[in-house]
Chains A and B, each alone.
Chain A
Amino acid sequence: MKVLAFSHSMDLALELVSAGRELGDVSLLVTSDQEGRINEVKGAKEVLLCKGLDSGDQEGLVELISGLASDYEVVLLASDRRGRELVGQVAHRLGASSAVDVSSLSVEDGKLVVERMTFGGKAIAVEEMSLPAVISVQKGKFKPPEEGEPSVREVSAPSIERRVEVIERKEKPKVGVPLDKAEIVVAVGRGFRKKEDLKLAYELADVLGGVVGATRPVAADLKWMEEEVWIGISGVRIAPKLLIVVGASGQQQFAAGIMDSKVVVAVNTDSKAPIFEQADYGVVMDLYEFLPVLTKKLKEIKGG
């Protein structure tokens, strides 16, 4: 199978090359703003360099990828927001099948078979896709290949009338270690009565060398924390070594975002909260009593 791959993020693009190699030869599309990192691309058959298009131009990308795709059976994109935005548009232009956020892909009896999470993490759908297919690949599932120099071929940019005009772009404030890369995460929920009380979570995270994330109500409704630290299916999906969930009930949208965590601890006053079913260790206690003691004891160990 011939595979065309593209991501706005060069790091994710390298993962796509690896995913694509499960199916066949991979051509990676690289836009003008990514040209500086072209020598990091290993394992692809070729790099298609488009010097006339910036990755910020979504309409241009739909046009370019749809045009190039006629030579390929599979188009792989990343599962970040802009990647997912492209999937449906490119697929429909091609009359292709589509799937997002797939965790595995294989060919069985000439059929493309993918797996992806559905029902808020309660099920995995195994889907048979007709060809051509446009797929976005779940982040972090494939390691970038380390060897194999691709050839480079230039492709020309499409000329189309743009109907969406980007008038402003504002960098979001950086939140330190991104949640999806953190080894230790303390996740806070509605059990905290006011914003100032979150310091109990920050103190715990500090002594563990971890970062603090939040459930949707804390991040989006109460606006106590930045949206970037919202854990869940429409927020960030995390995979730390240790996750301590404090004062969160464990709604399905949140649960789906923490499934890949290695060890999960839950602290909640309500022994019937669903979070305890999603945890390895449960502490049925008032976080206001438990956290200060836990933090103090951890400090003693780490200090001595």
Chain B
Amino acid sequence: MDIAVLVKQSLDVQELRVDQDTGKIYIEDAPTKAGDIELNATEEAVRLKEKLGGKAIAIMLSTGGASGKRQKEAREALTRVLAMGLDGAVLIMGEGAEKGDTYVIAKALAEEIRDKFGLVLAAEGSEDNFSGLLPARLAAELGWPYVAYATAIEVEGDHVKVTRSLEDFEEVVRVKFPAVISVTQEINKPRVPKLVEIVKAKKKPLDQKDFSPPVEPKLTIRELKVPKVERKQIVIEGDVEEAAEKLIQALKEEGVL
């Protein structure tokens, strides 16, 4: 049975520059990457594929537009997960993909996944948007069961045992294949590929396909605003004793002590 790993071309939010004064968000300038939790999903796929006896393939539907820069970055992100041990990758890209919402993307991904895979692994949320909507929608589109927030996955014959972490308790569920499972960062520690593995990854099959939206989106982003977080940013000077006293004084004046 083959495993599909969903990898999103996410904005690297750490590197994203925003201007508090003008409200400008420099999206085009920010680099993109595979999300951290997607590396956990990849790691889990590499571990599980031995037990399931099939291949593990990364699938990326890029919504970053089709510029040369974004294309290069998308391929780099996929090389990264291929170097961790995935067998191949599918990159779906095209003009117009930027307007795709989770409804559109789920429909398009389902066409790529249905009949080809028995298990889909995803991150509980993407690096830049963290909604977790896509795997849930994909499961509904495929008509497969969905289990989110996995912290452990064990294969037991024709089903998997999934431990998942919820706010107040941990739950262990048994689910039959085919299924969609989203993982959390606690599930494993992603391996760091060696240079030789990165070199080899560049020779693995990377199948690039053109994207054309199968349906119209249900949601449009009207505006992106920079939140007004006004912090005083006062640096407390002095030696240890003075600093402690000044801080206590300031907190008293704030009325929080």
Contact = CB atoms under 8 A, between A and B. Distances in A.
Interface of A: 59, 62, 80-82, 84-89, 91-93, 95-101, 113, 117-130, 163-172, 184, 208, 216, 220-221, 227-228, 233-234, 241-242, 251-253, 259, 262-265, 271, 276-285, 289-290, 293-294, 297-298, 301
A297 B103 contact: no
Nearest to B133: A88
B50 interface: no
Interface in B219-257: 219-227, 229, 231-236, 240-241, 243-245, 247-248, 250-251, 254, 256-257
Q: Which of A92, A101, A126, A165 has the most CB of B within 10 A?
A: A92
A242 B256 contact: yes
A259 B103 CA distance: 30
B128 A118 contact: yes
A89 B136 contact: yes
B175 interface: yes
B231 A264 contact: yes
A126 B223 contact: yes
Given A59-B145, A99-B131, A163-B175, 15 more contacts: A88-B106, A88-B131, A89-B139, A98-B102, A98-B133, A122-B226, A124-B226, A234-B37, A242-B256, A259-B229, A264-B231, A277-B233, A279-B231, A283-B243, A290-B240
Nearest to A96: B218
Contact of A297 (B172, B219, B245): B245
B244 A297 contact: yes
B248 to A, nearest CB: 6
A16 B225 CA distance: 25
Nearest to A88: B136
In the A-B complex, the 4 residue pairs with the closest CB atoms: A88-B136, A92-B140, A97-B218, A120-B13
Contacts of B22: none
B101 interface: yes
Interface residues of B, number: 79
Contact of B137 (A88, A220, A293, A297): A88
B221 A125 contact: yes
B25 interface: yes
Given A89-B146, A234-B185, A100 B16 contact: no
Contacts of A233: 125, 130
Interface of B: 11, 13-14, 16, 18, 25, 37, 101-103, 106, 124-125, 127-137, 139-141, 145-149, 161, 165-176, 179, 184-186, 189, 218-227, 229, 231-236, 240-241, 243-245, 247-248, 250-251, 254, 256-257
Contacts of A221: 189
B47 to A, nearest CB: 18
Nearest to A123: B224
Contacts of B131: 84, 88, 98-101
Contacts of B250: 281
Contacts of B37: 234
Nearest to A124: B225
B175 A169 contact: no
A285 to B, nearest CB: 6
Given A263-B254, A278-B231, A164 B224 contact: no
A220 B185 contact: yes
A290 B237 CA distance: 12
Nearest to A174: B168
B103 to A, nearest CB: 7
Nearest to A121: B227
Contacts of B129: 118-119
A37 B133 CA distance: 30
B16 A119 contact: yes
Q: Which of A84, A121, A278, A301 has the most CB of B within 10 A?
A: A84
B233 A124 contact: no
